[in-house]
Structure 1
């Protein structure tokens, strides 16, 4: 497992796509092994996983829209997503 630092830049793995499901009225994460329905926090993080934004930048960007965003919370979300094999590190 990768050590997730503030300068780490996550991106969606090949074949993974975040989209909005109008029927379910929520974001869904499509990947070769199936479908995940991320919670609102995970979806907000996933939208910013472009391989160029670092964890520090993602935290700052989320802090513009949400109160109390902490880097360790973002790192924990990314760790869980990495365990599910939907994000990787550039």
Structure 2
């Protein structure tokens, strides 16, 4: 994922707190992905307006971690969601 690309959740996909399992999940029609704390932190920043670079910069500041490391980890995670059609990306 490139720094200028803008990730967004497609129509019908949303973050949801599953009260039964007491964990965050990414819901899509007839599919769900259980999220760990890192996945939830990344997806909480995805708003469809900010670029991937802006998101990784915000995460870097929030967690006091190197932006390049966050970008590499986040890109892998978001690319996996993109390939499964849980994420859209605009150039």
TM-score category, normalised to shorter length: 0.7 to 0.9
* Segments of 4+ moved more than 2 angstroms: 67-70
- Relative to its length, the structure with more helix (as a share) is 2
Q: TM-score, normalization: structure 1?
A: 0.85
Task: Give the SS at the match of 2:63.
Answer: coil
Q: Deviations over 1:14-46 (max 9, x none)?
A: 110101112211101110131110121111111
Q: TM-score, normalization: structure 2?
A: 0.84
Task: Give the SS at the match of 1:28.
Answer: strand
Which stretches in structure 2 are left out of the alignment for 5+ residues?
none
| 1:61 has 2:61 as partner | no
User: CA-atom RMSD, angstroms?
Assistant: 1.4
Aligned residues: 87
| 1:37 has 2:38 as partner | no
